[in-house]
Amino acid sequence: MAASQRSRCSAAAVAVELDEDDHGQHQQQEAEELRRGPWTVDEDLTLVNYIADHGEGRWNSLARAAGLKRTGKSCRLRWLNYLRPDVKRGNFTADEQLLILDLHTRWGNRWSKIAQHLPGRTDNEIKNYWRTRVQKHAKQLNCDANSKRFKDAMRYLWMPHLVDADAHRARLLHAAAATHHHAALSSAAGAGGVLTSSSSADSFATAESYDDGAAGLYAAGVHAGEMLVVDGAGDCWAAAAAQEASQGMWPSAAADHHQQQHQSAAAARHMHQLAAAGGHHQFQDAELSGWVQGFSEGIITENFWALEDIWKIQ
DNA sequence: AATAGTCGCAACCGCCGCAGC
DNA sequence: TGCTGCGGCGGTTGCGACTAT
């Protein structure tokens, strides 16, 4: 057990020793038996098997019945955050990042509420994402993550940036697919061949291996022109986006995250489908969907920053 | 290669509200 | 009506992995 966890254990033991009432002896025994710290594979299996057989129930009694020397709280947390079959692992997709950014501007640190809108994601994961990525970004911008300044930056700069980066990916995928489709048809017509899975994968890889930094540049440039309307600003903003992308601050938008490529590609395909269907991203929340539709149509023009302000902050 | 610094994430803590008695 | 136990939530901690020097 790690030192910190040992100290936590001993602190708990001391607390229990001081609590010598009628049930003191029994409670002390129970508390001393309780395990803390990282879960073992055996414990995980025990919990999973027990829940598979009996379902979720009252966590304290579940922990006892399953023979786990853990608190009910600990079991609940382990199940909800890690063992539940529908828990989604890995990096957040652009869609999810957009959703988190937007929902946080609405509800603040209501992580569980935000998590309800991201299937498979836990409040803990979202909270960690916010604290490690977003707050770090706010720090670099030299402003508070809860300030209106930062929220404006997210809303009018980063969110469109995320959308555009993925939309651009989608365009590339679409173009690559169309090219491939055309080539395959020609090839099949000429040689009587069939479309192979490897050639299909090649066309996909062509789009996926597209330089992410360049995608970021492109996307940022487009928005610098569309939203900021500052002569020559596109290059500056694009450079900043590329820099941030190279630093991996906003992974799915442009950073070089190999692990995320499949998810991003999926998101891009999704965006492309939506674009083809009318360009409106349909989130679960109708109000949110309307909001995204709003900025995708460029109707949000008020309250955005001038580039000068951004560079002052940078 | 060794060390220091940083980051991501699992797990814990304390508080609060609710239900049952 | 107050007490108790429990579940849920947000905040915090600290370990291990990774990166920079």
A23-63 pLDDT, tens digit per residue, is 445 545 555 578 888 999 999 999 999 998 888 878 988 99
Question: Is strand C in 7 Å reach of the CB of A148?
Answer: no
Predicted pLDDT at A198: 27
Of all nucleotides, the one whose C1′ comes closest to residue A1's CA is C15
Is A275 found in the same domain as A158? yes
Cβ of A57 < 7 Å from strand C? yes
- In Å, what is the CA distance from A112 to each residue of A87, A94, A117, A236, A308? 14, 20, 9, 38, 37
Nearest nucleotide (C1') to alpha carbon of A62: C6
Q: For position A74, what pLDDT does the model report?
A: 92
Q: Of A31, A58, A83, at which residue does a domain stop?
A: A83
Domain extent, residue A216, equals 148-313
In this structure, the protein residues whose CB atom falls closer than 7 angstroms to any atom of nucleic acid strand B are A 5, 8, 11-12, 35-39, 70, 73-74, 77-78, 81-82, 91, 124-125, 127-129, 131-133, 136, 248
How many CB atoms neighbour CB A301 within 10 A?
11
User: Which of A294-298's residues contact partners 24+ apart within 8 Å by CB, and which partners?
Assistant: A295/A155, A295/A156, A295/A159, A295/A160, A295/A163, A296/A163, A298/A226, A298/A227
Nucleotide with smallest C1' distance to residue A129 CA: B8
Residues A154 and A60 in one domain: no
Q: Does A66 share its domain with A166?
A: no
3-state SS string over chain A?
Answer: CCHHHHHHHHHHHHHHHHCCCCCHHHHHHHHHHCCCCCCCHHHHHHHHHHHHHHCCCCHHHHHHHCCCCCCHHHHHHHHHHHHCCCCCCCCCCHHHHHHHHHHHHHHCCCHHHHHCCCCCCCHHHHHHHHHHHHHHHHHHCCCCCCCHHHHHHHHHHHHHHHHHHHHHHHHHHHHHHHHHHHHHHHHHHHHCCCCCHHHHHHHHHHHHCCCHHHHHHHHHHHHHHHHHCCCCHHHHHHHHHHHHHHCCCCHHHHCCCHHHHHHHHHHHHHHHHHHHCCCCCCCCCHHHHHHHHHHHCCCCCCCCCCHHHHHHHC
Q: Are residues A191 and A303 in the same domain?
A: yes
- The separation, in Å, between residue A174 CA and nucleotide C18 C1' comes to 36
In a domain, A105, yes or no: no
Q: Which one, of A67, A97, A81, lies nearest residue A38 by Cα?
A: A81
- A237-256 per-position pLDDT tens digit: 333 433 444 443 443 333 33
Count: domains in chain A: 2
pLDDT exceeds 50 at position A151:
yes
**Domain-embedded: residue A75:** yes
Q: Are residues A247 and A153 in the same domain?
A: yes
Q: Are A192 and A303 members of one domain?
A: yes
Whole-number pLDDT of residue A95: 81
* Residue A214 falls inside a structural domain: yes
Give CA separation, A266 vs A91, A167, A216, A263, A271, in Å. Answer: 13, 11, 18, 5, 9
Residue A72 and residue A153 in one domain: no
Report the CATH number at residue A70: 1.10.10.60
CA angle A74, A131, A73 (to 5 degrees): 10
A204 or A128: which carries more pLDDT confidence?
A128
Chain C positions with a protein C-beta closer than 7 Å: 5-16
| Integer-rounded Cα radius of gyration of chain A | 25
Domain final residue pick, A83, A107, A134? A83
CB-contacted nucleotides of strand B (7 Å): 7-14
Q: Which nucleotide is nearest to A91 (CA to C1')?
A: B8
Residues A61 and A199 in one domain: no
A290 band by pLDDT with thresholds 50, 70 and 90: very low
Average model confidence (pLDDT) across chain A? 56
Q: Is residue A91 part of a domain?
A: no
User: Is residue A127 in some structural domain?
Assistant: no
CA atom of A54 to C1′ atom of C4, Å: 26
Q: How far is the CA of A58 from the C1' of B18 (A)?
A: 15
What pLDDT shows up at residue A28? 52
State whether the beta carbon of A34 lies below 7 angstroms from any atom of strand C.
no
Distance of C1' in C15 from CA in A93, Å: 27
Q: Is residue A124 part of a domain?
A: no
- pLDDT given at position A148: 73
Closest nucleotide over all strands to A82 (CA to C1'): B10
Dihedral in degrees, nearest 10, Cα atoms A297, A299, A303, A308: 60
Does A170 lie in the same domain as A285? yes
Last residue of a domain, one of A83, A103, A135: A83
Q: Are both A182 and A275 inside the same structural domain?
A: yes
Domain assignment of residue A96, yes or no: no
Does a structural domain hold residue A204?
yes
| Shortest-distance nucleotide from A75 CA to C1' | B11
Selection from A30-39, A92-101, A305-314 with the highest mean pLDDT: A92-101
Q: Does the pLDDT value for residue A266 go beyond 60?
A: no
